[in-house]
Structure 1
Amino acid sequence: MARPSRRLRLGLGFTVAAVVLTGVIVAHELGSPTRGVEQAPHADAPACADIAEGYPAALDGHELADTGVPGVAVWGDQSVVLRCGLEPPAPTTDLCVTVDSVDWVYRQDESGDGRKVIITYGRDPAVEVAFDAQDTAVDRALVELSRIVRPIRQRNHCVDSTGG
């Protein structure tokens, strides 16, 4: 039986290496806490860096993951995802609640499939939080997150908010 040519062996070696490398990259991305999470346009704002220093190590029993992405914090397996650096929402008739002096607007159009999405109102940059409502006590987590977000200066308030 003839031995495969050197060119064929090299080609096979490169192919195997490429397949292995692709598998490693895919496995890394699937295991990444930020899979599918986009960084906000103004995530590099100083206010986002400031609040990042106050992220709790755990939120409603979910551990803070190391994302390595500025302006993004993830607790648990995306049970809670925070993105800082968004444009503040325009005036809206959407439900707005005030928690510890922070106004939050419920983003019904972006919520669904067991996820609830809220965004700060009247603060620039805005902070958006997506909760897995089946896995997280939203009210408790919101109290902790409001404490973190409060230092971002509030420029406007919800006209008719509920809460306190």
Structure 2
Amino acid sequence: MPGPRRTAAALGAAAVLLSGCSSAVGVSVPGGAAGCGDPRWPAQVGGHERVDTDPANAAVAAWGDPAVVARCGVGALAPTETECIEIDGVGWIPSSLSDGTRFTTFGTDPALEVLVPSAYDPAPLLLPAFDEVAKALPPNGLRCR
């Protein structure tokens, strides 16, 4: 029977091997990421744990598989006729993607973008997880009507 040290060492080695099998979610870092400071990303989104991104950068984060991806520092949206939804005091502009929905904060500069795969519909239910990050962004005077 192995002693506690051997068991701990074996578990540590297994964790390293398992982490080597997982792949990071490929993301692009937005050009305005510096305007986001150090976002306080949620630990979980929709019950899914945070996963690594490639590149690793404070302005991007991902959760689950398929990954919900958040990018802080995208360009602010101009006034639009597109439906704006307000959740917890945060304005979001949705746009359909081939495999999900992109939500971009409306009324912040820089903006926060959240990409939600179709597997997580109804997608707007995930947005409250990003309240703290969105509300920390500088307002630009635009609001949902």
Mark the runs of 5 or more structure 2 residues left unpaired by the alignment: 1-19
- CA–CA separation in structure 2 for the residues paired with 1:48 and 1:77: 27
2:33 paired with 1:43: yes
2:58 paired with 1:73: no
Matches within 5 A, 1:82-161: 82-108=70-96, 111-113=97-99, 115-135=100-120, 137-160=122-145
Residues 1:48 and 1:117: Cα distance change in structure 2 (over 3 Å):
farther
Secondary structure of the residue aligned to 1:31 is coil
Match of 2:42 in 1: 56
Alignment TM-score, normalising by the size of structure 1: 0.66
Give the CA deviation at 1:73.
0.5
Aligned residues: 123
- CA–CA separation in structure 2 for the residues paired with 1:159 and 1:139: 15
| Pair member with larger Rg | 1
8 Å Cα contact 1:60-1:137 kept in structure 2: no
Name the structure with the higher strand share: 2
What residue identity is the alignment partner of 1:31?
S
Give the CA deviation at 1:137.
4.7
Give the CA deviation at 1:85.
0.6
2:23 paired with 1:31: yes
Secondary structure of the residue aligned to 1:107 is strand
Q: What's the C-alpha RMSD, in Å, of the aligned pairs?
A: 2.1
8 Å Cα contact 1:88-1:121 kept in structure 2: yes
